[in-house]
Amino acid sequence: MVKQNSEASSIALINNVSSIFTFPLEKRIVVPVSCSCARGIFQHNASYFIQYLETVFTVANNTYQGLTTCQAILDQNPFLSPKYLDIGSYFKVPLRCACPSSNQMAKGVISLLVYTVTWGDTVQSIANSFGVDEASLLEANKLSQESTLYPFTPLLVPLTNENRLTNGKSANQGNSTNVGNFSCLYPNGSVQVGEKDIYCRAQNKKFPAKLVALLGVGIGLGLLCFFVFAYKLYQFLKKRRSRIQKARLFVQNGGLMLQQRLSSYGSSEKTKLFTAEELQRATDNYNKSRFLGQGGFGTVYKGMLPDGTIVAVKRSKTIDRREIEQFINEVVILSQINHRNIVKFLGCCLESEFPLLVYEFISNGTLSQHIHVQDQESSLPWEDRFRIAGEVAGAVAYMHSAASVPIFHRDIKSSNILLDEKYSAKVSDFGTSRLISYDKTHITTIVQGTFGYLDPEYFYTSQFTEKSDVYSFGVVLIELLSGEKPISSTRAEDEKNLVAHFISLAEENSLEKILDPRVAREASAEVVHAVAKLAMNCVRSNAKNRPSMREVAMELDGMIKSQHCLEIIDQENLVGDEEDDSTSETDSKLGEDDIAFSKETGTVSI
């Protein structure tokens, strides 16, 4: 067992090999280490690097073959988890060792070798293997002849000058022979071993030609088989490395956490896991031409799946614990949602270097892009704005009271509302959203969100409620009416905060000063005042006085239906007026014809 923290030259010297020698598998070797006393216990602290999925148990019993214990590792590294070790990190492994006592040194013992007992070992076999006396072996380990040896038990083997050689063959040039279980090197032709000399003589024999030919063919076939075997082994190891890497990335990207959270909500079957290769092909290896935009979580690319579905692939820029938790949170949230006005989640990928989310592709950008434009004529018409407000309210109301588990969005804003080809709203970005149990009314968290949309009460108390989402939606309503951004440094000092400025003008009955020109031109005064009143109710400073999202959605729905009915009545009245005009003209023509006919017959009748 080769332990870390030993130099190659030291290992080569004590094993009587060169520093470039490759040890065969299952070969017993000796590794010299420094032994020190810590807290009354002799031990050597080795540093271990975690390369793949392991546990403390496998490190202690497989990697170090019983030279340490799980408890010793955990005592030395209190921060470690017994079940999951972070790939790419280091930790200390305390290995059993000992230094010769004064009594042992008086008997010629120069070092104590730690040997791990394996199946079939006895005191006699171990003593014979290392050429030591049974009595000294028993004394060093405080054992008796009747003691039972258990596998994976480390024993101390006292070594003297006479028995410090070890098993193996030397890689140095020269002659070698085996004496018992030990290798001896004699580059000068002979070496003194015990009481007799062993000599090595060269044999001058010539190989027959046929034998040389057979050897050549055999070597050729052997090399061919070797290369075929090596190629197959390379392919096998490559696939194995790929599987190990994917497993490591799956854990690194929060796969275990995702499975646990999805199973707790009973939605693990709803989430599709894409492979990294699938999404690379879909986005043309994340080509710049497929770039759609940049978000807080990462970069978004346009892609096409094998079945022709156009998708948006969100790819993280960096990896840290907080972003992984946001990623997992967004997957869990979206797996609970099924609503026509919420962006559809198609799946994710956890086996790539950075985690990936896959959504339906929304073609018309964000609501913010369509209402904050320089050219007022190209901005959204009032009819679309009114309808989008109702759709967003319905989607948020669904999350609060109709989803399988209530959801607080926590970042409602115009840039998180996407518009499809028909300008229908799609609420997106659930990275900071939270699932809420039915018995809770709020969550206490570090304040997160976008300045200008943040509920002041949440900002001061750190308690987020469903009314905090209502406040953010109220700001979006004011944006739709005014076409202005929530916070702007280009406006006057008392107008920088859109909500405060809007409320001030509304109280002065001067809303026309802040209305978007297109809204002022297309919307009726009654509807504008009704929506403005609803928006101000949503942004009340006291959350208890705000309506719920369900009430907001119902009120907007009622307004939209009322306006639709008025439009139908106006159209019917217009058609009726046109029909009356047409009937009058027809009657007039008929009257003239009747008069003319009566004159011809000699009578006049009207």
Token pair for 413: 């804003």
Cβ atoms of 60 and 69 within 8 Å: the answer is yes
CA distances 321 to 53, 74, 254, 326, Å, are 19, 24, 9, 9
Cβ atoms of 472 and 412 within 8 Å: the answer is yes
Where would I find the H helices in 439-545?
Answer: 456-461, 466-482, 498-507, 517-522, 525-538
Strand order from edge to edge, sheet including 298-304: 291-294, 298-304, 310-316, 356-360, 345-349
Cβ atoms of 179 and 165 within 8 Å: the answer is no
Token pair for 351: 């086996």
- 411 catalytic? Reply is yes
- Amino acid 547 reads P
- Residue 458's nearest CA partner among 503, 466, 499 is 466
Identify the active-site residue in 411, 429, 455, 469: 411
Region of 113 on the Ramachandran plot (φ > 0 left; ψ -120 to 50 alpha; else beta) = beta
d(CA 108, CA 132): 12
533 marked as binding residue: no
End-to-end CA, the chain? 126
Region of 194 on the Ramachandran plot (φ > 0 left; ψ -120 to 50 alpha; else beta) = left
- Residue 341's nearest CA partner among 416, 291, 268 is 416
Q: Which residues are catalytic?
A: 411
Residue ranges for the binding site for ATP?
A: 314
Residue ranges for the binding site?
A: 314
